[in-house]
Amino acid sequence: MFRFQSDRSPHLILLLDAISSDRTDLSLDHFSQRQIEWAIQNGLGPLLFRTIQGGINDSSTAAWRSLKAADLTIRILMGTQLEAVGEIIEACRGRVPTLVLLKGMSIAEQFYPESHLRLMRDVDFLVPKKYVPAAS
């Protein structure tokens, strides 16, 4: 059973272990309020929320609601970011011959269980140097 060893345990490693195993059956009882707050404050709320989806949990608790809010917030932000990327690509159409979306954003839907679980929010484009002013 997945449990944090103590409040001094490396929270990130333990949480990522659950995520990498695609575990969704954890109970909120496995986590202290301090650990839940730590996860939310460090951007890991959506990941933690995913790990408890299939567990036996009381959705009326403050912890559940906080994690759900963190998850919904990042879903909205990701949707807004995807819209912005689409607008950038559209604005560059006809002005920049080659525009390549690189790394995280381009693989979020392929390699993450859900695209909003990608922790980084940066967007990287590759544009031929002479077309950078047209893409700016």
pLDDT digits (tens, 9 = 90+) for 57-71: 999 999 999 999 999
Higher pLDDT: 49 or 19? It is 49
Residue 36 lies in a domain: yes
| Of the listed ranges 5-14, 32-41, 93-102, 103-112, the one predicted with least confidence | 5-14
Structure-token pair, residue 7: 């409040």
Domain residues for the domain of 106 are: 11-135
58 inside domain = yes
Higher pLDDT, 55 or 106: 55
Cβ neighbour number for residue 84 with a 10 Å cutoff: 11
From first CA to last CA, the distance across the chain in angstroms is 51
Q: What is the pLDDT of residue 101?
A: 85
What is the predicted pLDDT for the residue at 104? Answer: 78
Within-domain flag for 47: yes
* pTM over 0.85, yes/no: no
